[in-house]
Structures are given as C-alpha cells and as structure tokens.
Amino acid sequence: MEHIVIIGNGISGVTTARHVRKLSDKKITLVSAETDYFFSRTALMYIYMGHMKFEHTQPYENWFWEKNKINLKKGFVKTIDTKSKKLHFAKGDSLQYDKLVIATGSKPNKFGWPGQGLDGVMGMYHKQDLENLEKYAPNNKVCKRAVIVGGGLIGIELAEMLNSRNISVTFLVREDSFWNMVLPKGESQMINKHIKNHHIDLRLGTNLKEIISDENGKVKGIVIAETGEIIDCNVVGLTAGVSPNITFIKDSEIETGRGVKVNRFLETNIKDIYAIGDCAEQHEPIGQRRPIEAVWYTGRMMGETVAQTICGNRIEYKPGHWFNSAKFLDIEYQTYGWVFANPKENHQHFHWKHEDDTKCITVEYNIETRAFVGINTFGIRMRHETFNKWLNEKRNVDYVMNHLSEANFDPEFYSTFEKDILSAFNNQLKTV
Ligand SMILES: Cc1cc2nc3c(=O)[nH]c(=O)nc-3n(C[C@H](O)[C@H](O)[C@H](O)COP(=O)(O)OP(=O)(O)OC[C@H]3O[C@@H](n4cnc5c(N)ncnc54)[C@H](O)[C@@H]3O)c2cc1C
C-alpha cells in the first residue's frame, strides 16, 4: 500500500491527511516535533489569556486519528534522503515514504541580535514559546516589563496577551507607523492611537540594538539602536515576522529559496515530494498574492488541493480572491480583494473613519474604469460571501458603496454609519 508521509501536523498537514483519507485507503503518517495532536495555532493567545485550556484548541478528539487510520509520529526530521525516499530523525530512527508532503510551517525571524538566545527571549509561534512565556511572564511580579520587537499581527497579539496580565509592555516598531507596509496611512495611524490607548509604550521608528544579560544568562534589558536608551525588562518577545521552517531541507536535493519552491500543483523539483502551507514558495506569485502565504486558510486550501493530486486527480492550487482577518486589541480587521498601503497606479482610496477612532473603512478602486479592487474594514464586520460575489461579478465601486449594507454582518449597527459613509464617498467624487 502506498505510504503518504506528511511532515508537520499544523492546519496544512492535517488537512492533507484528512482529505487523503477521505479519498483513499493509503497508509498515512503525520509527523511532528511540536505536539502529539493537532491544535489551532491561532488560538494560542487565548490560552495565556485564560479563555481556553490547551485541550480546547484541539479541533479533533484524540481518538480521531486512530479511528481514521492516520498514524502519528512524534519526532524531528533531520534529513530527507530523496534517493532512497527516507526520512532520518534526530533520534536516529528513519521512515520510508512513497510520497512526501512538506508542511513544516514557519519560525520566528531572528536577525542575529546580540543576546537573542538569552533566557526570557522568545518568539510567539510554537507551543514551546507559550510555555516559555508562562514561565518567564506568569504575572507582573516576575515580569515587570516586557519588550516586544516587531510590529505585525503576532506582535500586537503578544502585547494584548501581556496586557491581559497587567504586565507593562514596550513595543518597538521599526516603521514610523504600525504595519504601514500593509495598511493605508489612515488605518495605520488609527491603530497607533488604539495601541497607546491601551497604555502600551509604542515606540515607532525604533530598532533593537541588543539584548542585555544578567549574571545568570537571563535577559535584564534591551538597548535601542537609535538612541542608546536602555530599557529594563524581564522578557523580550521577538515578533519581527516569520520565515519558512526549512533549515533541515537546505542540504537536500529539494529546491529551496526562502521556502520550498513549488509549482502551481504544489510539486517540488523532486518527483513525489510536495510542499504546502507557510513553508511553500511559489516560483511565480499567483496574481497579487505573495509567493509565500503565511495564513491559516491558504494552508487549508493547499492541503485540500495536494490531497487530490496525491490521490490521482492532479489539480492546480487556485486560491481565489484574497481575504484575511485579524484583531488589533479590541478592533477587528477584515480585508477582501486588494487594498494596498498606497493605491496602485490609476487607483484611488476612499477612506472613512468614525470620530471615535475605532471604526474605519478603506476602499481601493480604479479611477478610470471605476472597478472595485478591494476593501479594508476596521470595527465593522462584513460578509465574506458578499464580497467574493461582488469581486466575481466585477462590480464597480459605485455599486459596492451603494450596497454596502447588504455586505454587513450587523445591518442595524451599520445603518448608524451608512449615511455618513455614503455622503463622504459622494463628497470625494465631487472633489476628484
Ligand atoms: C500567534 C499566531 C497567531 C496567528 N493568527 C492568525 C490569524 O488570525 N489568521 C491567520 O490566517 N493566520 C494566523 N496565524 C498564522 C497561521 O497560524 C499559520 O499560517 C498556520 O498555522 C500555518 O500552518 P502550517 O500547517 O503551514 O504550519 P504550522 O502550523 O507551523 O505547522 C508546522 C508543524 O511542523 C512541525 N515541524 C517543522 N519542522 C519539522 C521537522 N523538521 N520535523 C518534524 N516536525 C517539524 C512544526 O513543529 C509544526 O508543528 C497566526 C500565527 C501565530 C503564530
């Protein structure tokens, strides 16, 4: 019987295993160095915040795997021998495969800062990071201040986590406004204010120079590059982005760039080896998408796609329209289609912000054709299906703006802003 081995039991690997099982009775082994069972990485923060226990983040009961004949193997894969089709584990054992799926996810970026290996310095990605945080920042007596380095989605989650235990946070952000490579100016500035309103010491345009050790090899402070200022702290969270977790593959025959290089069928350069999820890198980006997509739902879609291919129905990965969602402390963020930090050529932004600084929308559209390109919403929840439909139907911006209430999740709530948004939009038209 053909043996399908999957390295990584995150959303990508687990989706592959589940779908291969639905489609076939092939032998399946799911390998992970992190945990025995699949858990939801996006829920890690809620464990620390006391909303959930770790077991609650496991979407499947522990009996699910045996019942579905999915073998689980705990171990760290050290090398892949593509000639003999064998994985070699750190503990010395090995495993034969017929087809291999690499779904090893990401790891937090560390840019070689002095002191980055000290006790009390951690990323926020793996379950072990959470355990470290619990150890070094259980409360504000043990951890008087934490410094977070890197202003992205994970950085702000970590700030919220620490805030929930009343631990003081200094947040170093390299850019001069929060996440402004992705967010348009008005949104980014609104989030700056929101972060400060939560008593987080946000330092924009600020880089880490080094992390200072106490006499026991534990962090006791950091130095800011621009000013030389020393900030005393007990924990440093490194959240300056993530990159594919593929160091162990670099010496193999498998082609890598930043990630494991794949074609549209998620096939690597080696026959019978595929890569999916955060660790996969498209040779050519798909549309406006990035060649590496480190988000949950794309990992799931890639898992479903590759399972089809493995089971004999070779299909292309076609992710459809871009969407994403996140939370910035109390403010929910959603994006559908494309809204760029700065409008693309021939494009324009319509931006509306509520005076309370917790709600705003930005719409990107083509000035000449008036095609609707995308929307960002903050503090106003929209329906994914509706925007997907409008993007498929290639609706123009005027249609979208005049029907926005239909896309709203909470029409009553939205109706209180509708008039204001529409009149701001119509005013912008007059001034163009
Ligand atoms: C705190 C946090 C919050 C997030 N929030 C969101 C969100 O709100 N929305 C969103 O879309 N995305 C979010 N993400 C990103 C999302 O979680 C990832 O895109 C997704 O989990 C990636 O899934 P994956 O299956 O590709 O990889 P992973 O989940 O990283 O799983 C890979 C697994 O492979 C294991 N592994 C790696 N190398 C080896 C090896 N050599 N041997 C054995 N095992 C190995 C790893 O230990 C890991 O268990 C968040 C991420 C984090 C960290």
Closest-lying ligand 1 atom to the alpha carbon of residue 279 = 26
Alpha-carbon gap, residue 14 to 29, rounded angstroms: 10
Determine the pLDDT at residue 431.
65
Determine the pLDDT at residue 410.
82
* Interacting residues of 353 by C-beta distance below 8 A, sequence separation 6+: 186, 190, 359, 360
Cβ of 234 closer than 6 Å to ligand 1, yes or no, is no
Closest-lying ligand 1 atom to the alpha carbon of residue 326 = 8
Residue from 154, 174, 301, 326 nearest 242 by CA: 154
Strand order in the sheet with 230-232: 208-213, 219-224, 230-232
Judge whether 159 and 202 are in contact, CB under 8 Å.
no
Confidence at 415, pLDDT banded by 50, 70, 90: confident
Confidence at 294, pLDDT banded by 50, 70, 90: very high
Taking CA atoms only, the protein residue closest to ligand 1 atom 39 is 104
Closest-lying ligand 1 atom to the alpha carbon of residue 11 = 25
Cβ of 152 closer than 6 Å to ligand 1, yes or no, is no
What's the CA-to-centroid distance between 164 and ligand 1, angstroms?
24
Is the model's pTM score more than 0.75?
Answer: yes
Sign of the dihedral defined by the CA atoms of residues 108, 112, 115, 118, in that order:
positive
Determine the pLDDT at residue 416.
81
Q: Is the pLDDT reported for residue 432 higher than 60?
A: no
Cβ of 48 closer than 6 Å to ligand 1, yes or no, is no
Tell me the per-residue pLDDT of 347-391, one tens digit each, with 9 for 90 and over. 999 999 999 999 999 999 999 999 999 999 999 999 999 999 999
Cβ of 177 closer than 6 Å to ligand 1, yes or no, is no
Alpha-carbon gap, residue 68 to 89, rounded angstroms: 25
Average pLDDT of the chain to the nearest whole number: 96
Tell me the per-residue pLDDT of 175-203, one tens digit each, with 9 for 90 and over. 999 999 999 999 999 999 999 999 999 99
Per-residue pLDDT, averaged over 330-355, amounts to: 97
Alpha-carbon gap, residue 123 to 331, rounded angstroms: 23
Taking CA atoms only, the protein residue closest to ligand 1 atom 48 is 8
What's the CA-to-centroid distance between 31 and ligand 1, angstroms?
14
Cβ of 32 closer than 6 Å to ligand 1, yes or no, is yes
Taking CA atoms only, the protein residue closest to ligand 1 atom 2 is 42
Judge whether 72 and 37 are in contact, CB under 8 Å.
yes
Rounded percentage of the chain residues whose pLDDT exceeds 70: 100
* DSSP assignments along 227-271, one per residue: T--EEE-SEEEE-S-EEE--GGGTTSSS-BSSSEEE-TT-B-SST
